[in-house]
Amino acid sequence: MLRSAILFRTMIQPLIDLDQNRSKLKLYIGHLTALCQDRDPQILHALHPPASYYQDDNQAAWEQRLQKMTPDELSQELEKCERESADLQEFANTILQQIADHCPDILEQVVNALEESS
């Protein structure tokens, strides 16, 4: 029981936190994409989201799978989640750069919305 609690705190909770971050990035990317589509779909014509953007895993089932993983498997899952988060962040940054280059007024809307939500 103690091993399970320690494993949860040290390995599983960071994975859950990373997954929540990925979910937020996906929402953010979706919002940015919608703004671009409304204004000028050509802004994003050459951009393709990473594969992880389209993954819609069942959160509860994923967390149950985590509970059954070995420490090595959890380490591999952590690396995978970190890689996917970095890919999503890079894609969001690319969208922001496209917006800044083509429609800076949209970027101002994004900044204002972020400031209001803080």
Reported as a single tens digit per residue, the pLDDT across 25-50 is 999 999 899 988 888 888 888 899 99
pLDDT value for 5: 59
Length of the chain: 118
pLDDT value for 77: 93
Distance, in Å, from the CA atom of 85 to the CA atom of 47, rounded to the nearest integer, reads 17
Average pLDDT over residues 96-113: 83
Q: What is the pTM of this model?
A: 0.83
Q: How many CA atoms lie within 13 A of 36 on its CB side?
A: 23
Q: How many CA atoms lie within 13 A of 111 on its CB side?
A: 8
Average pLDDT over residues 65-75: 88
Give 50-62 pLDDT, tens digit per residue: 999 988 778 888 8
Task: Check: CB of residue 78 under 8 Å from CB of residue 14.
Answer: yes
